[in-house]
Structure 1
Amino acid sequence: MPVTLKLVALSFLLSLFSVESLLADDSRNKPIDAKATKETKALYYNLRKIDRKHILFGHQHATEYGHGWAGDENRSDVKSVSGSHPAVVGVDFSGLSGRPAEAIEKTKTSLRKQITDTYNRGGVTTVAWHFSNPASKGGFYWVDSVSAPAVSMLIPGGSHHQHYKEILRTVGELANSVKGNDGTLAPVIFRPYHEFDGGWFWWGKPHCKRDDFTSLWRFTVSYLRDSLQVHNFIYAFSPDCLFKTEADYLDRYPGDEWVDLVGMDDYADFGRNGHYNVAAGIQKLKIVADYAQKSGKLAAFTETGLESIPDSTWWTNTLLKSLKAEKMRLAYVLVWRNDMRSATHFYAPYPGQASVPDFLRFYQDPYTWFEADLPNMYRRRWFF
């Protein structure tokens, strides 16, 4: 065979292999909801493509309030420092239950605005749920002698199951109302029952059986998706950092068919109270990222941060180095909120804060993407 024909044949075979590889990758590159909206599927797909070379930076409650302010239009402390909002904005469903109807409606209005504003700008929303105990007083924390071990009460057959369905209907009503300017539903990354491996929340490991927890997770997903027709959620599973092995991490995992994204929350290894065990934190992140690749899931560093940021080079010397250490594929990293009143409870810099110069180096690194860096996340893209 002449050399030119050999080259043509080789090129053809390589193109076939490339297409087959893309199709094979695509077969697992979908949300667990077969009826997910086109935009939700696109977001999921694009996050899995982007994480090969980049990571999205996120901040909890970034556009709702910040250090010394609240409710300003199109403002965030991150934008005030860098010129761009974070790529991922965290909100919370905490106000959707356990309150008077009027207060819940007000919360829904606020959440609807936050989610749709982020969607209209092209950013990504992730939702935590500091869920006030529906079976007792005590709020979302576990309070000895006050809090009820409610997980077993919420699952099918439990004493508060019907009440839980009512709460989920409120969540579903909101989810099906967050329409952007283009008339489509805004996708969100929904992260219920986080940090369940600790004991500080009423859904924590010491307060419920493993099977009850996984039953609650599966019912929650099924009821929202199949009964309430919520098709714009990406479901995120995120324990705290109390695991050391993959088996530990998966101890209360409900199964691959019930989870889209695996993550972890870890403040303890990254400087909390002056304690650093960064090597351990990296190893835990690697366990999460490796499982995601093995199971065809997204992975993320769902919460971290250093309160008050006393280490002025934390962004590049601790966080960025950790994210890059093992060439892990992580869709996003999110730091916690900046309280509007507290002088010390903040996790992202604000103008004049000591870590601003280092944060700008973090911002300018090609690996980190902020909102201004994002392509259209809601239209499927083959290449980045």
Structure 2
Amino acid sequence: MEQQEVKTPEAVAMLDMLKAVPQQGKFMFGHHDDPVYGIGWDGDSARSDVKSVCGDYPAVMSFDLGRIEIYGDKNLDNVSTDRIRQEVVAQYERGGMVSFSWHADNPLTGKDSWDVSDSTVVKSILPGGANHDKFMGWLDKIADYLNSIQTADGTKVPVLFRPWHEHTGSWFWWGQNLCSTEDYKALWKMTYDRMQEKGATQLIYAYSPGTEPKDSTEYLERYPGDEIVDLIGVDAYQYDKDTFGQNLENALTIMTQVSKAHGKAMAVTETGYETIPDSVWWTGTLLPAIEKYPISYVLVWRNARERENHYYAPYPGQVSAADFVRFYEHPKTVFAEDMKQFEKKK
């Protein structure tokens, strides 16, 4: 039997780049759904709230795969799969990177990811479970979609895949109190194995708990293994100033130890302060919390167009916009135009 390719050359190059950025004392800036909608606009071509403020696109963009396995032509945020595909290719061609999260619906109840009414969901989709075949069909649809994201010459675009995130909390059906450690790891392995079987070898895998773990043992309690995971992350949001910086630094201290011990890249896979009411949040709170740590990137959540006051990046005129420009100009931050320095020589 022919040996299965573990990663495409493009995925290997992307992983090398993720490691090269912090080695130069820098980190990339990212924003979820950046080019597909923003404050007061939806679907415009070549637009971005971040670019409108600082003149450049983020170096990292993320999108969500949720409900693509159900609808086929759009995701849970009502963005067309064709548009996402187009933007992923465009971001890759400008030298940037894309990450995908997957807020998968609850396959047992038919409700969303946040439905935690039943603690047997993960068990039900593992081999032998009542929903196993249904779920494998979902995985196949996700793999087919990711495989369809290709450049004009047919190269599969490498992307970071970040399933089963924030599992150290219990707000998703795969969370801490909703499944055993053994079942959570089995879910990860089943996901990885199916993607490999489907030839989705352009994926880089991210493991991203919340800030709940108090030490590296807790951080790694549900870690699916070095042979699967490429990048370790943390999802950390600000709700009040006193605890945010401390929680994030605690997580980054733990992750730095784990990153060194396991040889993995590390990142702040999701963060932000809803509506960014603090005019100097970027250089006064976020930057001081992360600049000492060897992170590949920091990514803030989306600027919703269908929910008022649900945004995490500035837009023109927003109270933190001027400070964001200072953050953009800081020698440590990397945006799309800066990515040229990390391009692999072909």
Tell me the TM-score normalized by structure 2. Answer: 0.93
Is 1:236 the counterpart of 2:211 in the alignment?
no
CA distance in 1 between counterparts of 2:189 and 2:180 reads 14
Measured after TM superposition, the shift of residue 38 of structure 1 is: 1.2
Give 2:42's match in structure 1, choosing from 62, 70, 75: 70
Of 29, 43, 67 in structure 1, the residue corresponding to residue 14 of structure 2 is: 43
SS in 1 for 2:51: helix
Work out the CA distance in 2 between the residues paired with 1:114 and 1:160: 33
Cα distance between partner residues in 1 of 2:243 and 2:317: 25
**CA-to-partner distance for each residue in 1:170-213, whole Å, 9 max, x for gaps?**
11111211112343111100000100111111111111111001
CA distance in 1, matches of 2:144, 2:315: 35
- Residues 1-384 of structure 1 mapped to structure 2, 5 A cutoff: 34-52=5-23, 53-99=25-71, 107-144=80-117, 147=118, 149-225=120-196, 227-267=197-237, 271-273=238-240, 275-324=242-291, 327-375=292-340, 379=344
Displacement of 1:111: 2.6
8 Å Cα contact 1:68-1:341 kept in structure 2: no
- Give the conservation status (yes or no) of the 8 Å contact 1:85–1:370: yes
Deviation at 1:274, TM superposition (A): 5.2
Higher helix share: 1
Aligned mates of 2:337, 2:222 — CA distance in 1: 37
Q: How many residues align?
A: 340
Counterpart of 1:9 in structure 2 is none
- Is the contact between residue 192 and residue 236 of structure 1 (CA under 8 Å) also seen in structure 2? yes
Unaligned ranges ≥5, structure 1: 1-32
Q: Which amino acid aligns with 1:374?
A: M
Unaligned runs of 5+ in 2: none
Q: Measure the CA separation in 1 of the matches of 2:281 and 2:220.
A: 30
C-alpha contact (below 8 Å) 1:122/1:376 kept by paired residues = no
Percent of residue pairs bearing the same amino acid type: 38
AA at the equivalent of 1:342: R
Task: Report the Cα offset of residue 329 of structure 1.
Answer: 1.1
Letter in 1 for 2:206: A
Gap change, CA 1:107 and 1:149, over 3 Å in 2: farther
C-alpha change, 1:372 and 1:378, in structure 2 (3 Å) is: closer
> Counterparts of 1:308 and 1:210 in 2: how far apart (Å)?
35
Aligned residue type for 1:140: S
Check conservation: 1:237, 1:261, Cα contact below 8 A: yes
Name the SS for the 1:272 alignment partner.
Answer: coil
Counterpart residue identity of residue 294, structure 1: A
Distance 1:87 1:346 in 2: 19
CA change 1:243–1:289 in 2 (3 A) is same
Question: Cα RMSD over matched residues?
Answer: 2.0
SS at match of 2:200: coil
